[in-house]
Amino acid sequence: MESAVLSNVRKPPSRANSTHSLTNNSSVGGINNGSRLKQLQRSNSSTSTASAGVTAHNVNTYTIPQSPTSSSASTGIHPLHFTWVFWFMHRQPGQKITNYESAMKKIASFSSIEDFWAVYSHLRRPHELPTISDYHLFKQGVRPVWEDEANINGGKWIIRFKKGLASRYWENLVLAVIGDQFEVGSEICGAVLSIRHSEDILSVWNRSAHEGRVNLKIRDTLKRTLDLPSDTIMEYKTHNDALRDNSSFRNTDVYK
């Protein structure tokens, strides 16, 4: 696991205060060593150190699929289907970035449930990030840029939130992405959290912008997984359109 960007980490929660547990009482540091238990629960406690500032209105349970070759009974490790990488980027207001890819800093990679919590518990929560900051969570080997081979023919679903709500929804989205909750094969490339002046934005990137049935399934899974209000406005933008107008969030297709 790569070392974290020091300016972007927070102290890990104490083991006694961790809200991330499995569905029995034999967990260690938020990760259970049982051979068959693979469900992660997110507590709705607003006093947790690990979820400081977050008040969840429900408890979401995610089944985290293991690799077909995993042997958690003998190793105590629960591999994910893919290796994932967290990236971080920040720019000052008014600052122009000429090389987007070089401006991003790789925080860490992980390929098991245990390594995920080890990384995630150190990251600053969205409400702690400075304005104009981005977290990127992408599969290893996929660069979080429009031009990457895995992204160039795809696009992203976009959801805008009022300030103060991103922490709750970002954590749920991360768990859904690494837990293969979308059930669309290799379509999901990654997810992005964008902290801006007047709003916070979540987006999910996928490979195929013109696969209508797949895109609608991703949209519907987002609504269900994040428990979004029925009147939530969702937007979609292809990466080719983003390259043409050099914009991530303008000129989108709006879905109500």
Question: Which CATH number fits the domain that encloses residue 153?
Answer: 3.30.760.10
Whether 127 is in a domain gets the answer yes
User: Does the pLDDT value for residue 75 go beyond 70?
Assistant: yes
In this prediction, residue 101 carries a pLDDT of: 85
Q: Choose between 10 and 103: higher pLDDT.
A: 103
**What mean pLDDT value characterizes the chain?**
77
Whether 95 is in a domain gets the answer yes
Give the chain's domain count.
Answer: 1
Whether 199 is in a domain gets the answer yes
- Could you report the per-residue pLDDT of 89-126, keeping only the tens digit for each? 998 887 777 788 889 999 999 999 999 999 999 999 99
In this prediction, residue 74 carries a pLDDT of: 63
Q: How many other C-beta atoms are found inside a 10 Å radius of the C-beta of residue 153?
A: 15
Range of the domain at 158: 79-255
Whether 115 is in a domain gets the answer yes
Alpha-carbon distances, residue 1 vs 116, 119, 191, 203, 246 (angstroms) = 10, 8, 20, 25, 33
In this prediction, residue 73 carries a pLDDT of: 53
Whether 227 is in a domain gets the answer yes
Whether 114 is in a domain gets the answer yes
User: Does the pLDDT value for residue 219 go beyond 90?
Assistant: yes
Task: Specify the residue for token string 């939130």.
Answer: 161
Whether 150 is in a domain gets the answer yes
Cα separation, 44 vs 60, in Å, equals: 9
What is the pTM for the complete model shown? 0.74
The count of C-alpha atoms lying within 13 angstroms of the C-alpha of 38, restricted to the half-sphere facing its C-beta, is 19
Average pLDDT over residues 235-252: 95
Cβ-proximal residues to 83 (8 Å cutoff; 6+ apart), any chain: 109, 110, 111, 139, 140
* % of the chain beyond a pLDDT of 70: 71
In 53-73, which positions are buried (b, 16+ CB within 10 angstroms) versus exposed (e)?
A: ebebeeebebebbbeeebebe
Instruction: Tell me which amino acid residue 12 is.
Output: P
Report which of 8, 63, 26 is spatially closest to residue 183, judged by C-alpha positions: 63
In this prediction, residue 107 carries a pLDDT of: 97
Whether 171 is in a domain gets the answer yes
